[in-house]
Amino acid sequence: MNKNIVLDLDGVIADIADGIENYLYEGVGKIDSEFYDYSSWLTTDTKDETALHLFSKKIFWKNLKPFEDAWYQVNYWFGAGFDIHIVTARRSEASVVMTEPWLDGWKINTLRPKFSRLNEKHLIIKDINPLFVVEDNPSEVIKLRENGINCYLRKAWYNEPYWADLPCIDNLYDLDI
């Protein structure tokens, strides 16, 4: 049996949306409107100055929290002998530097993360040949599925328009191996 699972990091394991909200609304207070749309920060190679500033801060990446289901399920799968691969599109120097310390700090058991450009994850993932991939970015899910890779979209408010068109999960507990 294939024992490889691939997971995206932000939006699948790490609750980046909550981290951004804390920064925008509670911490810095740069954005007063509760209707500010930062969805493009999560699904594109954003050029937004506020996003780039935030993503350049190591403390932002350090303070992200894992989704509870992800923490439990990743460690359960790892303990059951599965190889958990993280393939992430983190781009800023701060985000890349903080990835392994964050995983270690939260005691999330995975293999060493792999970094990719947006919409190029399939180039790395095809060589891993996973049972499945979980991703929160619809364009990545579409690209992976076009390349014959079994992939699920983890539902989030910013990817809701794709829920009817792509195979979705609410959380990692939905996946029965």
- Report pLDDT digits (tens) over 95-139: 999 999 999 999 999 999 999 999 999 999 999 999 999 999 999
Q: What does the pLDDT look like over 140-166, one tens digit per residue?
A: 999 999 999 999 999 999 999 999 999
- What is the fold of 4-15+65-174? Rossmann fold (3.40.50)
pTM score:
0.93
Long-range contacts of 97-101 (CB under 8 A, 24+ apart): 97/58, 98/58, 98/61, 98/62, 99/9, 99/61, 101/62
Rounded-to-integer distance, Cα 14 and Cα 124, Å: 21
Q: What is the pLDDT of residue 22?
A: 84
Q: Where in the chain is the domain with CATH 3.40.50.1000?
A: 4-15+65-174
Q: What is the pLDDT of residue 158?
A: 94
